[in-house]
């Protein structure tokens, strides 16, 4: 709830979008006041090899027109050898993106 609160007040204060990264796990996305919020991109270069979730991350490609986001692509990555990200194959990426969409759906319907 606290993370969501700060994301929302950032948008209210004029942020074009909010991207989080601290939790070390890929998390939900939502749109608030027409602006995207990505709660966590997960890990990109980190040495947390003890679980699959901490070895996952996302690259975000954001297309802007002025201060308005037009399109966002999320590209899942897997951290190998404690610090080397690589793009996931489609079969690896599908469950990561499914997790993001399920978590996002929960926020939309229960948030």
Query: Which helix H or strand E contains 53, and what residues bound it?
Result: none
For residue 38, being part of any structural domain is answered with yes
| Predicted model pTM | 0.80
For residue 79, being part of any structural domain is answered with yes
For 45, phi then psi, to 5°, come to -130, 100
For residue 111, being part of any structural domain is answered with no
How high is the pLDDT of residue 17? 92
For residue 77, being part of any structural domain is answered with yes
For residue 44, being part of any structural domain is answered with yes
* Better-scored residue on pLDDT, 33 or 25: 33
> How many domains does one find in the chain?
1
The residue segments making up the domain with residue 50 are 2-102
For residue 63, being part of any structural domain is answered with yes
- Are 82 and 51 in contact, with CB atoms under 8 Å apart? no
Residue 36 vs residues 2, 8, 78, 104: alpha-carbon distances, Å: 17, 10, 24, 12
- Which pair of tokens denotes residue 13? 């204060």
| Bridge partners for 87 per DSSP | 77
Residue 63 has pLDDT above 70, yes or no: yes
How high is the pLDDT of residue 18? 94
Sheet holding 56-65, edge to edge: 56-65, 68-80, 84-87
- Express as a percent the part of the chain with pLDDT over 90: 23
For residue 109, being part of any structural domain is answered with no
For residue 108, being part of any structural domain is answered with no
How high is the pLDDT of residue 9? 97
């Amino acid at each position: 709830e606290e993370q969501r609160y700060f994301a929302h007040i950032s948008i209210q204060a004029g942020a074009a979008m909010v991207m989080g990264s601290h939790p070390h796990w890929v998390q939900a996305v939502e749109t608030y006041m027409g602006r995207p919020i990505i709660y966590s991109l997960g890990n990109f270069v980190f040495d947390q090899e003890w679980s699959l979730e901490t070895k996952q991350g996302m690259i975000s490609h954001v297309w802007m027109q002025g201060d308005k986001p037009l399109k966002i692509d999320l590209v899942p990555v897997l951290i190998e050898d404690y610090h080397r990200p690589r793009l996931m194959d489609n079969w690896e990426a599908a469950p990561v993106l499914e997790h993001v969409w399920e978590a996002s759906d929960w926020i939309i319907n229960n948030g």
